[in-house]
A and B are shown apart, each in its own frame.
Chain A
Amino acid sequence: MDYFLTEEQQMIVDVARQITEELIIPQRAELDETEEYPREILKAMAQADLYGLYIPEEYGGFGGGPFAMVLALEQIARGCTGVATAYAASALGAYPILISGSEEMKQHYLSDIAAGKRLAAFALTEANAGSDASGIQTTAVQDGDHWVLNGTKQWITNAGEADIYTVIAITDRSKGPRGATMFVVEKGDPGFSVGPKEKKMGIRCSATCELIFKDCRIPKDRVIGRTGAGFITVMKTLDLSRPGIASLGVGLGQGALDEAARYAKQRVQFGKPIISFQAVAHMLADMAIQVEAARALVYAAAKHVSAHPNDASKAASMCKVFATDTAMKVAVDAVQVLAGYGFMRDYPVEKMMRDAKILQIYEGTNQIQRNVIGQELNKEYT
């Protein structure tokens, strides 16, 4: 369907598509197999200016906002959600600086992030703080001109690969939700180390590890925004990034549909291509309907989030739930259409099915998203 993209938006799609087709699709199976971080592909994406899409022009970016990210991520996820996750994680890590950082801090970090010279990562999750962020145990204590961090973050995307980490830590437990603060921790800071790489079901080429802070000393100007405003920054960050995760779902779903439809045209059983059997054709039709509906919702939500950053939660959560549940369902159906072949690693759909699962889980499980939507509805219908 024609979404009447501007010429610039169409260019973003074209560049991302070319990278997907020429670099990502030929390598995705090997990356999945070896679990190797896709450094060369990400370098090509940086060279093509994709790292600065959402960053304002004054910081060396393209100024395209969340919608530009959505367009690029959709194309990349059509090829490989693992690569797309590694790419998206840098934006997620940069959003706190963009949202709450001082002008000085933005000047210092954003142009390097926009150029892809330094990758970023976002560190929220801990062993006891998943959906319930109040369980955070990492602490930061002021000591003269420095802050000292202690604690362990878990399942951090881009861990070890990133140079810039935006980390939330408790600075005053007595203040509850207003007692958390975000910091920038840089690779090489004393007392900061990265754990071993996790073994995952899907998105296996993306790096996922623990971040370990042992008396990690950082200068005091590394505080992002005000002390105690950490949770607000986190919520706003997730509002901006969720349409991006949703677009990974659209891309993955489209990729799965493409594979299934192509296969169904070419696979002959009982003397006919299987697409001519209604049982298969209806599955493909449902897949197409869902992917297109998800795309329409994601595009609309991304535009809404850009225009109304203070009223973004419901739209962001709705598109995240719908598009990622769609991706899971479409990927499962694609495997079914390819049947035995679909189950084999020779075809990409089994990887898509494994990759799809994380989309329903990370950046807030789809159950938590429904809570958010429910709370918003509760407020609306007073």
Chain B
Amino acid sequence: MKIVVCVKQVPDAKDVRLDPNTNTLARDGVQSIMNPYDRHALEEGVRLKEQYGGTVTVLSMGPPQAGETLREAVACGADEAVLVSDRAFAGADTWATTHTLSQAIKKIGGADLILCGKQAIDGDTAQVGPGIAERLGIPYATYVKKVVTCENGAIRLQRMMDDGYDTVEMDLPALMTVVKEINEPRIPSLKGKMKAKSIAITTLNAADIGADPDQIGLKGSTTQVVRVFTPQVRGERAMLTGTVDEVVAQLVEKLESLL
């Protein structure tokens, strides 16, 4: 079984915070990490490989630095790494990104199973997985929390819904996006790290994957960011002061009027 896992390098969102003085994002010390959901997708891919046999290829679209994330993926069990990198990809929205990634998957010979994290923590769009599947014309399942079986050319899994979960089955080739509940990602092994250090990352540019120039990067994007701003928080504040009993009395009064 040929498994492709799509991973994205993202800024560690928990470090991104507002600088109260400049009201801008302070990014001192913000590290680039593998999108946390993608770590779970990778782990699931590696487990499926270990159970059913096959290979795991990690694929990322990004600047050359994203190679570090691919090496990390190799240390965690991926066999091969492919980076799609071209300045022409910059500014891509999800429409352009899915074109690029689906072209890359075709270029490397397709896949029996494609795994993605449910979303990336920088954009949170959750669109790339389904978009790739649609462009490749294959079925998909989102928010997968458990793979039940993967046999006889079909995969059966449980996907989360807002009110429970559905057990569904689809024939391969197929794509799935996973939630964190699906597994506990492993810590990279020593042999994996050694392999990651020496592995040659296949790097493909826009021409290599036969990308349609009208469908990549900023130009190929269907959406456009017109404004970026920091969220406005409501300012009216009445501080209740006094002894504990006085404060509680005021709170009771407020609650009574509200309830």
Q: Consider the complex of A and B and state whether they touch directly, i.e. have CB atoms less than 8 Å apart.
A: yes
B79-87, B183-191, B219-227: which one contacts chain A? B183-191
Verify A48–B190 contact, CB threshold 8 A: yes
**Residues in A neighbouring B191, C-beta threshold 8 A:** 49, 62
Verify B187–A12 contact, CB threshold 8 A: no
Verify A15–B194 contact, CB threshold 8 A: no
Verify A50–B190 contact, CB threshold 8 A: yes
The complex places the Cα of A19 from the Cα of B194 at a distance, in Å, of 17
Q: Does residue A142 face the partner (Cβ distance < 8 Å to B)? A: no
**Residues in A neighbouring B192, C-beta threshold 8 A:** 49
Take A8-B194, A11-B194 as given contacts and tell me if A22 and B187 are in contact as well, using a CB distance cutoff of 8 Å: yes
Verify A11–B190 contact, CB threshold 8 A: yes
**Residues in A neighbouring B187, C-beta threshold 8 A:** 15, 18-19, 22-23, 44, 47-48
Q: Does residue A14 face the partner (Cβ distance < 8 Å to B)? A: yes
Who on chain B is nearest to A68 by CB? B190
Of the candidates B186, B194, B197, the one whose C-beta lies within 8 Å of that of A48 is: B186
Contact with A along B173-189 (1 / 0, CB 8 A): 00000000000001111
**Residues in A neighbouring B194, C-beta threshold 8 A:** 8, 11
How near does chain B come to A276, taking the closest CB pair, in angstroms?
A: 25
Verify B190–A7 contact, CB threshold 8 A: no
Of the candidates A22, A23, A44, A49, the one whose C-beta lies within 8 Å of that of B190 is: A49
How near does chain A come to B221, taking the closest CB pair, in angstroms?
A: 37
How near does chain B come to A206, taking the closest CB pair, in angstroms?
A: 21
Who on chain A is nearest to B193 by CB? A11
**Main secondary structure on A side of the interface with B:** helix
How near does chain A come to B31, taking the closest CB pair, in angstroms?
A: 14
Contact with A along B187-218 (1 / 0, CB 8 A): 11111111001000000000000000000000
Q: Interface size for chain B: under 10, 10 to 19, 20 to 34, or 35 or more residues?
A: 10 to 19
How near does chain A come to B34, taking the closest CB pair, in angstroms?
A: 13
The complex places the Cα of A22 from the Cα of B188 at a distance, in Å, of 12
Which of the listed residues A8, A18, A48 has the most CB atoms from chain B within 10 Å of its own CB?
A: A48
How near does chain B come to A24, taking the closest CB pair, in angstroms?
A: 11
The complex places the Cα of A251 from the Cα of B114 at a distance, in Å, of 42
**Residues in B neighbouring A7, C-beta threshold 8 A:** 197
Who on chain B is nearest to A52 by CB? B190
Verify A44–B188 contact, CB threshold 8 A: no
Q: Interface size for chain A: under 10, 10 to 19, 20 to 34, or 35 or more residues?
A: 10 to 19
Contact with B along A1-16 (1 / 0, CB 8 A): 0000001100110110
Which of the listed residues A23, A47, A50 has the most CB atoms from chain B within 10 Å of its own CB?
A: A47
Verify A44–B186 contact, CB threshold 8 A: yes
The complex places the Cα of A47 from the Cα of B193 at a distance, in Å, of 12
**Residues in B neighbouring A48, C-beta threshold 8 A:** 186-190
Which of the listed residues B187, B188, B191, B197 has the most CB atoms from chain A within 10 Å of its own CB?
A: B187
**Residues in B neighbouring A44, C-beta threshold 8 A:** 186-187
The complex places the Cα of A7 from the Cα of B192 at a distance, in Å, of 14
The complex places the Cα of A19 from the Cα of B188 at a distance, in Å, of 9
Verify B188–A12 contact, CB threshold 8 A: no
**Residues in B neighbouring A12, C-beta threshold 8 A:** 190
Who on chain A is nearest to B190 by CB? A49
**Residues in A neighbouring B190, C-beta threshold 8 A:** 11-12, 15, 48-50, 53, 62
**Residues in A neighbouring B193, C-beta threshold 8 A:** 11, 14-15
How near does chain B come to A90, taking the closest CB pair, in angstroms?
A: 16
**Residues in A neighbouring B186, C-beta threshold 8 A:** 44, 47-48
**Residues in B neighbouring A62, C-beta threshold 8 A:** 190-191
Of residues 36 to 72 in A, which have CB atoms within 8 Å of B's CB atoms? 44, 47-50, 53, 62
How near does chain B come to A25, taking the closest CB pair, in angstroms?
A: 13
The complex places the Cα of A49 from the Cα of B186 at a distance, in Å, of 12
The complex places the Cα of A48 from the Cα of B186 at a distance, in Å, of 8
How near does chain A come to B189, taking the closest CB pair, in angstroms?
A: 5
**Residues in B neighbouring A53, C-beta threshold 8 A:** 190
**Residues in B neighbouring A8, C-beta threshold 8 A:** 194
The complex places the Cα of A339 from the Cα of B194 at a distance, in Å, of 44
Verify A18–B197 contact, CB threshold 8 A: no
How near does chain A come to B48, taking the closest CB pair, in angstroms?
A: 16
Verify B197–A49 contact, CB threshold 8 A: no
The complex places the Cα of A145 from the Cα of B156 at a distance, in Å, of 53
**Residues in B neighbouring A15, C-beta threshold 8 A:** 187-190, 193
Of residues 222 to 236 in B, which have CB atoms within 8 Å of A's CB atoms? none
Which of the listed residues B186, B190, B193, B197 has the most CB atoms from chain A within 10 Å of its own CB?
A: B190
The complex places the Cα of A51 from the Cα of B197 at a distance, in Å, of 21
How near does chain B come to A74, taking the closest CB pair, in angstroms?
A: 16
Who on chain A is nearest to B191 by CB? A49
Of residues 76 to 105 in B, which have CB atoms within 8 Å of A's CB atoms? none
How near does chain A come to B56, taking the closest CB pair, in angstroms?
A: 16
How near does chain A come to B193, taking the closest CB pair, in angstroms?
A: 5
Who on chain B is nearest to A45 by CB? B187
How near does chain A come to B183, taking the closest CB pair, in angstroms?
A: 13
The complex places the Cα of A48 from the Cα of B194 at a distance, in Å, of 12
Who on chain B is nearest to A23 by CB? B187
Contact with B along A146-169 (1 / 0, CB 8 A): 000000000000000000000000
The complex places the Cα of A44 from the Cα of B189 at a distance, in Å, of 9
Closest 7 CB pairs of A and B: A49-B190, A48-B189, A49-B189, A11-B193, A18-B187, A49-B191, A48-B187
| Additional A-B contacts beyond A47-B189, A62-B191 (11; CB < 8 A) | A11-B193, A12-B190, A18-B187, A18-B188, A22-B187, A44-B187, A47-B186, A47-B187, A48-B187, A48-B188, A49-B192
What are 17 A-B contacts defined by CB distance under 8 Å? A11-B194, A12-B190, A15-B187, A15-B188, A15-B189, A15-B190, A15-B193, A18-B188, A19-B187, A23-B187, A44-B186, A44-B187, A48-B186, A48-B189, A48-B190, A49-B191, A53-B190
Q: Which residues of A contact B (CB under 8 A)?
A: 7-8, 11-12, 14-15, 18-19, 22-23, 44, 47-50, 53, 62
Q: Which residues of B contact A (CB under 8 A)?
A: 186-194, 197
